[in-house]
Amino acid sequence: MHDYLQEIGALTMRWVRRLSREKFSMLFTLVQPMLFWLIFFGNLFQRAADTQVVQAPSYISFLAAGVVVMTVLNNGLAGGVDLLFDKENGFLERLLSTPIHRTSIILSRFLFVMTITSCQVLVILGVAALFGVRPATGLLGIAVILFIGVLFGVGLTALSMAMAFSVKSHGDFFSVLGFLSLPMIFLSSALVPLAAMPSWMSVVARFNPMTWAIDAVRPLILAGWAEALPRVGLVIVFMAVFDALCLYGSARAFRRSVG
């Protein structure tokens, strides 16, 4: 057990050290979602979006939940890419030749991605607060939002790792990533409520896990516990299934790739 913790600690530390070396890119990863989506997009559509349609006091307050989940999506889907680079340049093989438990490599990555994502979600909620958006469910509500984020993030990161261990090159990985990420956002309730979508889009969006997560986070911010609790309960069940599927896929891909 002590060995296991030592491995995970050291491997997680590696990601943290890398992040601190890449200050420039760190700043952009952290700032981009709130700058682009929350501040620009939110304010741009402030008057174009009908508060009757979005059923929120302002478009930014409606969008906040969407931006939170988008951040989880983007971080999660990109979460496997560093392992892909490790695989390509032989670093992974170096790690695999040491007497460590195979799962340490995966776990340390989850730990890191989830921590970064949670920090980012907190910053987004903070920026939203500057625009007058206060979560209706208070601090406990924020904790639940983080929990939902982690639940969703685990599945996405697992999916990303499964892809990282299956693709031939990182070119393929980024093609799939680029192909997935925007449709996942547009075909969800992140920017527009389902009721306001063309009917075929709302049908597709209903099956999008993004929508499930957003529909649980949004009432936590806008409405209150009474409305949020049933949705939170539902999303926990959904996400448990989603995570199980993604983790199974990623475990299979990992085993096939590294034995």
Partner 1 sequence: MDRAVAIEISRLGKVYGRVTAIADVSFQVSSGEVFGLLGPNGAGKTTTLRILITVLPPTSGQATVLGYDVVRDAERVRQSIGYVPQERAVDRFLTGREHLLLLGALYHLSKEEIQRRITEVLQLVDLEHKADQPVRTYSGGMKRKLDLACGLLPNPQVLFLDEPTLGLDVKSRLRIWDYIRHLKQRGITVVMTTNYLDEADQLCDRVAIIDGGRIRALGSPAQLKVGLGGDIVAVTVEAAAMNRIEALAAAVNALPAIRSVTPKPNGLDIRVDSPEKALPSVLEAANRLGCRLEFIEYHRPTLEDVFVAHTGHAIREEFPQSDE
Residues that bind partner 1 (CB under 8 A): 3, 6-7, 9-11, 13-14, 17-18, 21-22, 89-91, 93-100, 258-259
Cα-Cα end-to-end distance for the chain: 23
Find the shortest distance in angstroms from Cβ 11 to partner 1: 7
249 vs 148: CA distance, rounded Å: 21
Q: Are 76 and 144 in contact (CB under 8 A)?
A: no
Q: Comparing C-alpha atoms, which of 162, 76, 161, 155 is closest to residue 121?
A: 76
**Smallest separation, CB 134 to partner 1 (Å):** 39
CB of 28 to partner 1, least distance (A): 16
DSSP per residue, 153-205: HHHHHHHHHHHHHH-SSHHHHHHHHHHHHHHHHHTTTTTS-GGGS-HHHHHHH
Of 23 and 47, nearer to partner 1 (C-beta) is 23
Q: At closest approach, how far in Å is the CB of 231 from partner 1?
A: 41
Beta carbons of 123 and 142 less than 8 angstroms apart: no
Nearest distance in Å: CB 147, partner 1: 30
Burial of 238 (0-12, 13-18, 19+ CB in 10 A): middle
Q: Which is nearer to partner 1, 111 or 136 (CB)?
A: 111
Cβ density class 116-127: b for 16+ within 10 Å, e for less: bbbebbeebbeb
Contact indicator for 51, 57 with CB cutoff of 8 Å:
yes
The distance of closest approach from Cβ of residue 110 to partner 1 in the complex, given in angstroms and rounded to an integer, is: 18
| Cβ proximity to partner 1, 105 vs 159, nearer residue | 105
Instruction: Tell me which amino acid residue 242 is.
Output: F
